Amino acid sequence: MRVVIAGSSGLIGGALCAAYREDGHDVVRLVRRPTQAPDEVRWDSERPDPRLVAGADAVINLAGAPLGDRRWNARYRDLIASSRIDTATALATMTARAATKPTVLISMSGIRYYGVDRGDEELTEASTPGTDGFLPRVTSRWEAATRPAAKAGVRVCHLRTALVLSATGGLLPRLLTPFRYGLGTTLGSGRAYWSFLTLHDTVAAIRFLAEHPQTEGPYNLSTPAPTRAADFTNALASALGRSAWLRLPVWALRIGVGQMGPEVLGSLRVLPERLTAAGFRFRDADIESAVSAALRERLNSA
């Protein structure tokens, strides 16, 4: 396969590129800076060039400014939105206009499509979108930005991705630090549902969608067993052999990290109904096996 990937420097993108290369596939990485490796191609989302994706078996868009790197002031919120929506628009336009159209466009999205907090409600791909909060609005526009490709007859899949568990990036390394000092902490009330999947299963799901021509539309990338925040903390404590007796309320999260805390950690009980119906099977389906897999990843990378 020839796979063109935008956002290859991130946690998911790096792992996906490595997995494709390991299996002998041709990977092209779209970058905005001067190229530094033979597999990189410089591009500009403000000047979409269809030649960069022509003939690709899959175009995979994972680009977007990180959510947890800094406080969400007005300027950074604009960057979060534009880095997602503008990039998706450019790649969809390139895909639609390519002389030989790619077989599929797979574009990152997120479970905040369903809202900031929907309590214990079970959410599938058929559930209504959320209207409250910054991320739900961005995510809806992010998905809509791929319409040029769909209108041109290209198969499009949206990755409504849950919390990705990895010891090398994302939220988990930040949670591990206080555990090392015996300060394991439950975020919020502990009753919020956290939907998750491991980095391994994230990569496997993306490749599954790329390789199965019957798949199209939105897919929840989340295990079938969402867990409450307190159970997540207990599973992490058990795997590390440490205690977890502290609790950080939502108001304290807002003081510490601003708007990001409640928006990213609100309760969403997301189920991968369409993904499992298509035949995908998770390797790490429950929180205990997912946490163990992530911690093994840390040991293997040490």
**pLDDT tens digit string along 154-166?**
999 999 999 999 9
Q: What integer is the mean pLDDT of 240-247?
A: 73
DSSP symbols for 106-123: EEE--GGGG-S--TT-EE
- Whether the pLDDT of residue 241 is over 90: the answer is no
**Best CA proximity match to 198, nearest among 13, 12, 22, 18:** 12
pLDDT tens per residue across span 264-300: 778 999 999 999 999 999 999 999 999 999 998 765 6
User: What share of the chain has pLDDT > 70, as a percent?
Assistant: 92
The residue with tokens 């060039």 is 49
Residue type, 264: V
* CA pair distance 202, 221, nearest whole angstrom: 7
* CA pair distance 168, 295, nearest whole angstrom: 9
What is the tally of structural domains in the chain? 1
Q: What integer is the mean pLDDT of 204-217?
A: 98
Q: Which of 126-140, 194-208, 287-301 has the lowest mean pLDDT?
A: 287-301
R_g of the chain computed on alpha carbons? 19
Main-chain phi, psi angles of 102, to 5 degrees: -60, 155
The residue with tokens 């630090």 is 177
- Whether the pLDDT of residue 255 is over 70: the answer is no
Q: What integer is the mean pLDDT of 25-52?
A: 95
- Whether the pLDDT of residue 301 is over 60: the answer is no
Average pLDDT, the chain: 90
- Whether the pLDDT of residue 184 is over 80: the answer is no
Reading the block at residue 113, the tokens are 């499509």
pLDDT at 262: 65
Range of the domain at 39: 2-301
CATH number of the domain enclosing 120: 3.40.50.720
pLDDT tens per residue across span 73-123: 889 999 999 999 999 999 999 999 999 999 999 999 999 999 999 999 999
Q: What pTM was estimated for this model as a whole? A: 0.93
What residues are paired with 107 via a beta bridge? 61, 158
Reading the block at residue 293, the tokens are 């897999």
User: What share of the chain has pLDDT > 90, as a percent?
Assistant: 73
Reading the block at residue 286, the tokens are 């429950």
- Whether the pLDDT of residue 253 is over 80: the answer is no
